[in-house]
Structure 1
Amino acid sequence: MAKSSQPVLKRMLLFGACLLATMQLLAQSPTIAQVDFARADSVARLYHGYSLANLNDLSHKLTHPFTNDLEKFRAIYRWVCNNIDNDFDYFERNQAKRKKLLNDADALDDWNRKFAPQVFKRLLQQHSTVCTGYAYLIRELAYHADIESVIVDGYGRNAEANIGGPGVPNHSWNAVQLSGQWYLCDATWSSGTIDTQQGLFIKQFREAYFLTPPELFVRNHYPLDTRWLLMEAQPSLTSYLNGPLVYNDGIGQEILPVAPATFNVAATRKVPITFRFSAPIQPEELTLQIVQGSHVLDLSPKVTPEADGLYNITHTFPARGTYALHVRNSGDYLFTYEVRIAK
């Protein structure tokens, strides 16, 4: 009997409501990056704008050309990223409400129950949603393809959220089981970015959040249920919230800060500070962007290799003040520190 999409109405987008089966959580295979997904991506493009009225039908169309779950899931994932927009108005409304009700669990649950049907309706009619809608759609399309996926709720981190402090649960993504192994992905962040200054969603597919290795994914995602870190050595929520800010291209290029370990760095003027990072190969176009107020200084630092894929750069601040130090490669922002020079 064909699976009906109707029962999903009863499994609405309830924040934190996904059930976790007892299972072994395994880390990702390093061979994912070597797979050619051109055919799966092509199939996803064939059904551009397809209706969400029958999720079973859409899932079948996307997956029936393939014999393995990896390509099936890729076709589902690319279709969602290509066809669903991040709704800025709903995003702002949901973020503000979650922050306001952070310390009132009952009120927060009530908000999520009331907000979920609105999100589902907008997703169905306008192909527009927020993170819970993306995660819901990934889970349901995977379900109709006999692929197990769950919604993971937790803390997403960017330049405007979860920089220090106690943290605010503000984001949802997915874990998916393929060939007995669990992987992490975030269709919301893969689909594009929100320009909060202009109030616009900019659609641009980002490979960085598709089946991302856990040690990279945790740089800007932290689950409420730490089993979904998929890591044996688990970082604490506190270290996550207080670490350097890592951007999409830092994840995508696998160029990540190692030391200092905190976003806020205290230093002394005219005394060099060393920043250590890891990278698969030595970056050829690494730059530092130093920002203080409206003053922006772009520099080309000397990159010094160390052992085991580690590199360091050094900078000296000549005057007191608070600075944003952005590390970039080929013009892309990788990670950021805030440096305070008090002496």
Structure 2
Amino acid sequence: MKNRLILFFFFIVKLTIAQVSDFKSIDFTRADNIAKLNANASLKNLPLLAHNLTYKLDNDAEKFRAIYTWVCTNIKGDLNQDNKVSKQRKRFKNDSLAYLKWNNDYQKTAFKKLLKHKKTMCTGYAYLIKELCFLVDIDCKMVNGYGRSTTANVTSLDLANHSWNAVKLNNKWYLCDATWSSGYFVNDVFIKDYNLGYFLTDPTLFAKNHYPLDKKWLLDDTLITSDYSASPIVYGETFTHKIIPIGPSNLNTTIKKNDTLAIRFKSLNTLETKDISLIKYIGIKTIPFKITDLKNENGLVSFNYKFKSKGVYDVHLKIKNDIVATYTVSVIKE
């Protein structure tokens, strides 16, 4: 069994490296600059906007980057819309046909607000990405499913609450989420914070907090043929640092007192061991765990921690100053 786990671990890593290296030869600076030059452009003429964003670029990957960057940096999140839709999702949780009817009617209002005020929710972001791609002959789909966070779909897939995109580049499908790339809310105020971690993201990482209604959009045969299980909670910073948690594979783990918990993850960015830590919180105070056997072998990181007391612990993997994964560990008697 141990050898099988090791083989599976390296199989995941091999797939990840292949995915990330697909566009290493492309410099997206020109595409990003074109998006900046067209900042504040109107949405009243989408064909003109699509043309202005892409006509100077040489390939579909650059064209898609310009579209993606423009949408993420020019469209604001609309919390009122999001709350309204969330309320209706809960209301029609057991009546999908009724929800679809309500949603189809409401989308007309939502899209009008998007075009007029440049404010929207996840469906609007995904819709705009898809429409701009269509206008430049890039195959792009809207994907609906479950977005996982610290407050939604934590341990099970309770409510389909999110939309994102799949885009076909060089005859291969990739995943991205313009909503979560664009920023976040603090006290009902939208904070712009362009996070490229959600751009053409590795499917294994993307599935940590995106689970589609149609499993084919997992874009990974192992994930597609496996049953859903609640993985560790990940955050926007996980995508920024390009961290893929591997073990423990589940959010909730039970071990015996004095047993060792092994943490394993893949870092797609260069990472120094001094920047890796495991912590817990007591109130607002950060308490570091004394981890052992810390190794970083070409981005394959592993370390151990022995729990000496019974209890339930929320433990957080920290890279530099950012929490990138959260696990709940139940320690029982020997």
Shorter-chain-normalised TM-score: which range? 0.7 to 0.9
The 8 Å contact of residues 204 and 244 in structure 2, kept in 1 or not, is answered as no
Normalised to the residue count of structure 2, the TM-score between the two structures is 0.86
**Deviation (angstroms), 1:39:** 0.8
The 8 Å contact of residues 294 and 304 in structure 2, kept in 1 or not, is answered as no
What secondary structure, in the 3-state scheme, does the structure 2 residue paired with 1:267 have?
Answer: strand
**Deviation (angstroms), 1:303:** 5.1
- Is 1:126 matched up with 2:117? yes
The 8 Å contact of residues 168 and 174 in structure 2, kept in 1 or not, is answered as yes
* Aligned equivalents of 1:134, 1:92: Cα separation in 2: 16
Which shows bigger deviation, 63-72 or 269-278?
Answer: 269-278
Partner of 2:216: 227
The 1:213/1:120 distance shift into structure 2, 3 A limit, reads same
* Aligned equivalents of 1:306, 1:85: Cα separation in 2: 39
Partner of 1:212: 201
Partner of 2:181: 190
- Is 1:333 matched up with 2:323? yes
Normalised to the residue count of structure 1, the TM-score between the two structures is 0.84
- Is 1:313 matched up with 2:307? no
**Deviation (angstroms), 1:87:** 0.8
The 8 Å contact of residues 72 and 194 in structure 2, kept in 1 or not, is answered as yes
Partner of 2:9: none
| Higher helix fraction (1 or 2) | 2
What secondary structure, in the 3-state scheme, does the structure 2 residue paired with 1:234 have?
Answer: helix
**Deviation (angstroms), 1:235:** 4.8
**Deviation (angstroms), 1:135:** 0.4
Which shows bigger deviation, 78-87 or 284-293?
Answer: 284-293
Which shows bigger deviation, 198-207 or 275-284?
Answer: 275-284
Superposed CA offset, 1:276-298 (max 9, x none): 22234554311222125565413
- Residue segments in structure 1 that go unaligned for 5+ positions in a row: 1-26
Partner of 2:234: 246
- Is 1:142 matched up with 2:133? yes
* Aligned equivalents of 2:197, 2:258: Cα separation in 1: 37
- Is 1:266 matched up with 2:254? yes
Partner of 1:170: 161
The 1:166/1:212 distance shift into structure 2, 3 A limit, reads closer
**Deviation (angstroms), 1:301:** 3.1
CA-based RMSD: 2.3
* Aligned equivalents of 1:303, 1:84: Cα separation in 2: 45
* Aligned equivalents of 1:339, 1:307: Cα separation in 2: 26
Bigger relative contact order, structure 1 or 2, given CA contacts below 8 A and separation 6+? 1
The 1:295/1:202 distance shift into structure 2, 3 A limit, reads same
What secondary structure, in the 3-state scheme, does the structure 2 residue paired with 1:239 have?
Answer: coil
Q: How many residues align?
A: 314
Instruction: Give the counterpart letter for 1:265 in structure 2.
Output: T
The 1:256/1:109 distance shift into structure 2, 3 A limit, reads same
* Aligned equivalents of 1:104, 1:89: Cα separation in 2: 23
The 8 Å contact of residues 131 and 188 in structure 1, kept in 2 or not, is answered as yes
The 1:266/1:29 distance shift into structure 2, 3 A limit, reads closer
- Is 1:52 matched up with 2:43? yes
- Residue segments in structure 2 that go unaligned for 5+ positions in a row: 1-17
